[in-house]
């Protein structure tokens, strides 16, 4: 297909309007890169897909791409051995759930919508991956205590140590040390639990200064009696972080096992998303399906009967006219406001080899030609 003609006819702007109806970036990219085909069978299949998309969207409002996202990059990262972020796992899980739901819905209507059902049948399963992610992360992306026995024990120890620190600091605040505090609160500085001490009284409290207020009136001190507990707490936090990193690395390896399948699933979802976008655009613009006719073939000229004429006879060059037929009724340029453009009718039969359009400037000649070109490209 001639790229200059596509550009002059502004076919890319039509694609941009269609792409606005896609549900995720995979479908959007596929739509924006869509190119017309010169293969009749392919064009008819695409038309059938769009018609099925319109029928499904009209009859089944709950059919949707859902929470699908383009997870091909996280899948590639997992295949390269990288550890994924928690949000990557949640996105993969949601995409797999959306893909499974859409697959079931389309396969139920395979009799009425064979083209879409065929694409849906190519959506693969990733056995156990959804459950594995659910067993590891909550809906906020935090690693669950139950993700491993070791993590559960570390977090129980953290909870106990946290309570011991707070109990000890509370007792200190209820003692004579209270008179030296700016206010009776427990907070954290540099990962350690501290209390606010008036700057003029910091020599009266045994401990470590970790910070000072902007006004200089308060210092944040860790009393000497909680240093060991804070050390224990920090050590448990480091163990927790190490165990979380191990769990996420193991889960990333699970994703890598399904990496290629995940990428193919996104490819199929993007294809369905593009078809539904074409269907939505067709409905909004009140479009009608095109009917294609076969290319006309011309008989090969026969040489003259007489020998002396045959000696001088040369076969004519092939007829380059494709034998096309164009019949368009009430077509409107898709990039112009419907109420501001005059509809165009075209009737070009197979015997018409040339059309001459005349008229004054701004009379609509260019719009009519572009409309015809766009109608054929869009079909």
pTM of the model: 0.83
99 in Cβ contact with 65 (< 8 Å): no
Is pLDDT at 31 greater than 90 in this prediction?
A: yes
pLDDT in the model for residue 73: 97
pLDDT in the model for residue 103: 96
pLDDT in the model for residue 61: 76
What six digits make up the tokens of 240?
């927790």
The pLDDT tens digits of the residues spanning 308-341 come to 777 788 877 766 666 678 899 999 999 999 888 8
pLDDT tier for residue 355 given thresholds of 50, 70 and 90: confident
Instruction: Return the half-sphere exposure (C-beta side, CA atoms, 13 A cut-off) of residue 255.
Output: 33
Is pLDDT at 296 greater than 80 in this prediction?
A: no
Residue 11: count other Cβ atoms within 10 Å of its Cβ. Answer: 23
**What does the mean pLDDT of the chain come to?**
91
pLDDT in the model for residue 176: 80
Q: Kindly report which listed range (109-118, 189-198, 342-351) carries the lowest average pLDDT score.
A: 342-351
What six digits make up the tokens of 5?
């003609």
The pLDDT tens digits of the residues spanning 52-95 come to 999 999 988 778 888 899 999 999 999 999 999 999 999 999 99
| pLDDT mean over 232-239 | 95
State percent of the chain over pLDDT 90.
Answer: 65
Beta bridge partners of 222: 208
Distance CA 274, CA 23 (A): 9
pLDDT in the model for residue 349: 82
pLDDT in the model for residue 182: 84
Beta bridge partners of 193: 188
Q: Is 115 helix (H, G, I), strand (E, B) or coil?
A: helix
pLDDT in the model for residue 256: 98
| Per-residue burial over 176-189, b = 16 or more CB atoms within 10 Å of its CB, e = otherwise | ebeebbbeeeeeeb
Residue 116: count other Cβ atoms within 10 Å of its Cβ. Answer: 27
Q: Are strands 344-348 and 326-331 parallel, antiparallel or unpaired?
A: antiparallel
pLDDT in the model for residue 320: 65
Instruction: Return the half-sphere exposure (C-beta side, CA atoms, 13 A cut-off) of residue 217.
Output: 4
pLDDT in the model for residue 216: 85
Determine the distance from the C-alpha atom of residue 359 to the mean position of all C-alpha atoms in its chain, rounded to a whole number: 48
Higher pLDDT, 304 or 195: 195
| pLDDT mean over 26-44 | 94
Distance CA 244, CA 186 (A): 27
pLDDT in the model for residue 230: 92
pLDDT in the model for residue 165: 94
Is pLDDT at 213 greater than 90 in this prediction?
A: no
Distance CA 93, CA 220 (A): 44
pLDDT in the model for residue 322: 61
| pLDDT mean over 251-269 | 97
Is pLDDT at 178 greater than 90 in this prediction?
A: no
The pLDDT tens digits of the residues spanning 121-161 come to 999 999 999 999 999 999 999 999 999 999 999 999 999 99
pLDDT in the model for residue 321: 64
What six digits make up the tokens of 171?
């007792």
State percent of the chain over pLDDT 70.
Answer: 98
């Amino acid at each position: 297909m001639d790229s200059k003609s596509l550009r002059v006819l502004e076919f890319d702007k039509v694609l941009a309007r269609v792409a606005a109806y896609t549900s995720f970036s995979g479908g959007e990219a596929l739509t924006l890169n869509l190119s017309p085909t010169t293969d009749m069978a392919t064009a008819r299949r695409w038309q059938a897909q769009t018609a099925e998309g319109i029928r499904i969207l009209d009859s089944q409002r709950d059919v949707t791409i859902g929470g699908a996202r383009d997870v091909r990059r996280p899948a590639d990262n997992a295949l390269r051995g990288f550890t994924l972020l928690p949000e990557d796992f949640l996105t993969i899980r949601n995409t797999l759930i959306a893909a499974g739901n859409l697959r079931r819905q389309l396969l139920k209507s395979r009799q009425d919508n064979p083209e879409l059902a065929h694409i849906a049948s190519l959506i693969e399963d990733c056995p156990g991956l959804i459950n594995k992610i659910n067993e590891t992360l909550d809906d906020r992306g935090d690693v669950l205590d139950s993700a491993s026995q070791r993590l559960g024990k570390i977090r129980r120890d953290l909870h106990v140590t946290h309570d011991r620190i707070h109990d000890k600091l509370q007792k200190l605040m209820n003692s004579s040390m209270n008179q030296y505090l700016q206010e009776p609160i427990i907070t954290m500085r540099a990962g350690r639990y501290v209390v606010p001490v008036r700057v003029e009284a910091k020599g009266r409290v045994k401990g470590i200064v970790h910070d000072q207020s902007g006004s200089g009136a308060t210092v944040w001190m860790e009393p000497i009696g909680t240093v060991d507990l804070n050390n224990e707490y920090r050590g448990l936090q480091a163990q927790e972080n190490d165990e979380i990193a191990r769990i996420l690395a193991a889960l990333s390896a699970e994703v890598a096992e399904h990496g290629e399948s995940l990428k193919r699933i996104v490819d199929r979802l993007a294809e369905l998303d593009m078809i539904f976008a074409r269907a939505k655009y067709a409905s909004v613009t009140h479009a009608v399906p095109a009917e294609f006719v076969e290319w006309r073939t011309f008989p090969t000229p026969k040489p003259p009967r007489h020998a002396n004429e045959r000696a001088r006879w040369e076969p004519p060059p092939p007829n380059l006219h494709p034998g096309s037929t164009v019949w368009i009724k009430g077509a409107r340029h898709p990039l112009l406001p419907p109420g501001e453009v005059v509809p165009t009718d075209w009737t070009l039969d197979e015997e018409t080899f040339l059309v001459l359009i005349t008229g004054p400037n701004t009379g609509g000649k260019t719009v009519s030609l572009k409309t015809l070109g766009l109608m054929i490209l869009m079909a």
